Amino acid sequence: MSVTQIAFNTPQKTFAEFASVKHWKTTHTGLFREAILWKYLEGFESLALTCRGIHALCTPFLKRHNQLRLEFHRLALGKSSTITTLLHLILRIDSEPIIARYITHADFGCDRYHPYIGDFYRGHHGPLKNLLADSPYLKKAGLDWKEYHELIKADLRRNRYSKNYSQHVTAFVLTLLPNVKTLVLSPWQPLEAPKKLLEAIFAESKLSTFPCEDPSLAQLTKIKISTDTRLRFDLWQDFPLLALPNLRSYRGPNFVARAIEGEAGSYLEELSIKICASTSTEDTSLKDRPIVSIAPNEFFMRGFKSLRKLELPLEIAICDHANAAFRETKSKRILANQGPRNFEIFINELLPASVSYLSLSSDGMDIDARRDIMEAIGDYFVTEQSRFPSTKEIQLLLPEDHSAIYLYKENHSEAAGEVDKPDVPMKYSAKYWHQYDLQNIEWTCFSCRTDSVSDEAPQDVYRYDTGRQASRFSGRGEDGFVDNDRSL
């Protein structure tokens, strides 16, 4: 181990002791500057705040550090970003590798290649080839980098006019991100090469063998996958990232819930499920197709032992769990005749006991249907708090209105129909719902997620206060996902 490495493995208090020694400050300044560059980014902020002497040595690097953190801490692809596609990101990483370590919250959901991207790529294929050739993940996955490069080129040719993205590019970029904590991805398909890369990422996250490097995605805690996909497949087998050691929240298609339960149910804390079509056809009309299909004994929600927050479609909670094939055209009948009873079964028999916050999303529900579900569920049993041994809150989400209604809230005897408006709380009992014009009620503004996890950039990290001490500043919290947000 070199002297530089030893310096970085030294506790901060020892750095302070070293900095107070005149011999260290004079003789080893060059070595210490080398240590700063080695540790940049990880540990750099704490290092700069250790003492005045060390802060002075770090000062030349602070401006660039803040610039990179401002640009890449929350990275969302798009026209408003300096990085518009993942190919652009690869170019930046090739020219300045350190930026990959600044990416903490990554939104790659808008990675779309326009016709010009082929010309752009032809002029800049060198950096991509260099990174592919040096990738330890490709080697571990048993993939030839030249063949993988050809797959990317084929994607660009095929998507030249569809404005689609390259899943091969996305999978490769995921091998470059050691510090990312939240991740948004475009629709994922079961392609063989990306699957092997993800398996290599997962393997290294368990036990890293790469010298002087942190495994990619080892810190990932929350992931969202778009539900636009029309192809049903066993996502667990084709998306091994669901078993990453620190993953705590998954948001994506509903048909992978059982696979997630089997592999991550013991530690997953948040789960959001959305209904998506389970068909590989190009026909997007779902009028006559079941949008929820749950066979008896198939939906084992009880396997989620640590789940605290659960968000799922209302249709799942009120469908006939013994013979489920809920169709949108039958919603009024189910609401009127079966909904309350089925909902009670869901709460008492299927909902994990650990869940304290349950959100039910209802895309496209009309005013009459809202009134029916509020009145039916509320009158039937929602005021009997003994039926909710651990659940503290049940919300009906109305994504189209960016609002939410409490169907149940702990310690509120008339919780059904409760509407909280900013600064003006209003409470209505469910049995009196029909007396109010729901179209004129001002629904509460709900804390909605945007399409990007980078909705607010952090401020500068450091300011040296009157030559006495370094003060740390930051923007929003480290978590790129907002609590109580609607379904992704």
pLDDT tens-digit series, residues 382-439: 555 555 556 677 777 766 666 677 766 766 544 444 444 322 222 222 222 222 222 2
Q: What tokens appear for 305 in the block?
A: 């032992």
* Tally of domains within the chain: 3
Measured distance CA(79)–CA(114) in Å, rounded: 12
For residue 360, count other CB atoms closer than 10 A to its CB: 25
* Residue 72 one-letter amino acid: F
For tokens 């401002």, name the residue: 70
The dihedral through the CA atoms of 330, 303, 264, 477 has a sign that is positive
Within a domain: residue 474? no
Nearest to 402 by CA among 443, 359, 453, 343: 443
Alpha helices in 207-352 (DSSP H): 235-238, 257-264, 314-318, 331-333, 339-345
Specify the higher pLDDT residue, 305 or 455. Answer: 305
Within a domain: residue 208? yes
Q: Are residues 353 and 263 in the same domain?
A: yes
For residue 38, count other CB atoms closer than 10 A to its CB: 16
Q: Are residues 385 and 240 in the same domain?
A: no
* 3 contact partners, CB below 8 Å, separation of at least 6: 31
Predicted pLDDT at 38: 53
| Residue 469 backbone phi and psi in degrees, to 5 | -155, 155
> Sheet containing 222-225: which strands, arranged edge to edge?
74-76, 105-107, 182-185, 222-225, 249-253, 270-274, 309-313, 357-361, 393-398, 403-409
The dihedral through the CA atoms of 442, 443, 449, 451 has a sign that is negative
Q: Are residues 418 and 336 in the same domain?
A: yes
Residue 483 has pLDDT above 50, yes or no: no
Highest mean pLDDT out of 107-121, 290-304, 456-470: 107-121
Q: What tokens appear for 19 in the block?
A: 């900095």
Measured distance CA(185)–CA(252) in Å, rounded: 10
Predicted pLDDT at 482: 33
Query: Which of 10-24, 36-50, 421-435 comes out lowest in average pLDDT?
Result: 421-435
**Helix axis angle, 29-39 to 52-72, nearest 10°:** 30
* Residue 318 one-letter amino acid: I
Highest mean pLDDT out of 12-26, 189-203, 211-225, 379-393: 189-203
- What is the number of alpha carbons within 13 Å of residue 83 lying toward its C-beta? 27
Highest mean pLDDT out of 129-143, 331-345, 379-393: 129-143
Predicted pLDDT at 50: 73
Q: Are residues 44 and 155 in the same domain?
A: no
Query: Which of 246-255, 294-303, 327-336 comes out lowest in average pLDDT?
Result: 327-336
Residue 4 has pLDDT above 90, yes or no: no
Nearest to 227 by CA among 174, 291, 171, 287: 291
Q: Are residues 55 and 111 in the same domain?
A: no
Confidence band, pLDDT 50/70/90 cuts, at residue 247:
confident
Within a domain: residue 472? no
Beta strands in 40-172, from DSSP E residues, in sequence order: 74-76, 105-107
Contact of 181 with 219, CB cutoff 8 Å? yes
Within a domain: residue 470? no
Q: Are residues 56 and 89 in the same domain?
A: no
Burial (Cβ within 10 Å: 0-12, 13-18, ≥19) of residue 425: exposed
Residue 140 has pLDDT above 70, yes or no: yes
Predicted pLDDT at 13: 38
Distance between the two ends of the chain, CA-based, in angstroms? 46
Within a domain: residue 173? yes
Specify the higher pLDDT residue, 148 or 349. Answer: 148
Q: What tokens appear for 455 in the block?
A: 């909705």
Q: Are residues 324 and 380 in the same domain?
A: yes
Q: Are residues 268 and 416 in the same domain?
A: yes
Confidence band, pLDDT 50/70/90 cuts, at residue 363:
low
Q: Are residues 122 and 64 in the same domain?
A: no
Q: Are residues 286 and 405 in the same domain?
A: yes
* Residue 314 one-letter amino acid: L
Query: Which of 95-104, 189-198, 267-276 comes out lowest in average pLDDT?
Result: 267-276
Predicted pLDDT at 76: 93
Measured distance CA(396)–CA(444) in Å, rounded: 12
Measured distance CA(432)–CA(448) in Å, rounded: 28
Predicted pLDDT at 313: 78
Residue 119 has pLDDT above 70, yes or no: no
Predicted pLDDT at 275: 60
| Residue 78 backbone phi and psi in degrees, to 5 | 150, 175
Q: Are residues 54 and 132 in the same domain?
A: no
Tens digits of per-residue pLDDT, 54-71? 777 777 778 888 888 899
Contact of 78 with 463, CB cutoff 8 Å? no
Measured distance CA(271)–CA(249) in Å, rounded: 6
Predicted pLDDT at 451: 33
Residue 53 has pLDDT above 70, yes or no: yes
* 192 contact partners, CB below 8 Å, separation of at least 6: none
Predicted pLDDT at 132: 94
Q: Are residues 229 and 312 in the same domain?
A: no
From residue 105, how far is each of 71, 173, 180, 377 by CA, in Å?
Answer: 11, 14, 6, 39
**DSSP-derived secondary structure letter, 486:** P
Provide mean pLDDT across the span 77-91.
88
Within a domain: residue 309? yes
- The parent domain of residue 51 ranges over 3-71
Within a domain: residue 371? yes
Residue 167 has pLDDT above 80, yes or no: yes
Domain end (from 222, 247, 272):
247
Measured distance CA(276)–CA(457) in Å, rounded: 32
Predicted pLDDT at 145: 95
Provide mean pLDDT across the span 289-314.
63
232 Ramachandran zone, left/alpha/beta (phi>0; psi -120 to 50): beta
Provide mean pLDDT across the span 35-53.
65
Within a domain: residue 480? no
Q: Mean pLDDT, the chain, as a whole number?
A: 65
| Residue 107 backbone phi and psi in degrees, to 5 | -115, 100
**DSSP-derived secondary structure letter, 65:** H
Measured distance CA(358)–CA(147) in Å, rounded: 46
Domain end (from 71, 99, 116):
71
Query: Which of 149-158, 180-189, 343-352, 468-477 comes out lowest in average pLDDT?
Result: 468-477
Measured distance CA(471)–CA(20) in Å, rounded: 20
Measured distance CA(442)–CA(181) in Å, rounded: 36
Contact of 311 with 272, CB cutoff 8 Å? yes
* 49 contact partners, CB below 8 Å, separation of at least 6: 55, 462, 469, 470, 472
Q: How many residues does this entry show for the chain?
A: 488
Measured distance CA(39)–CA(7) in Å, rounded: 10
Domain end (from 33, 50, 71):
71
Residue 327 has pLDDT above 70, yes or no: no
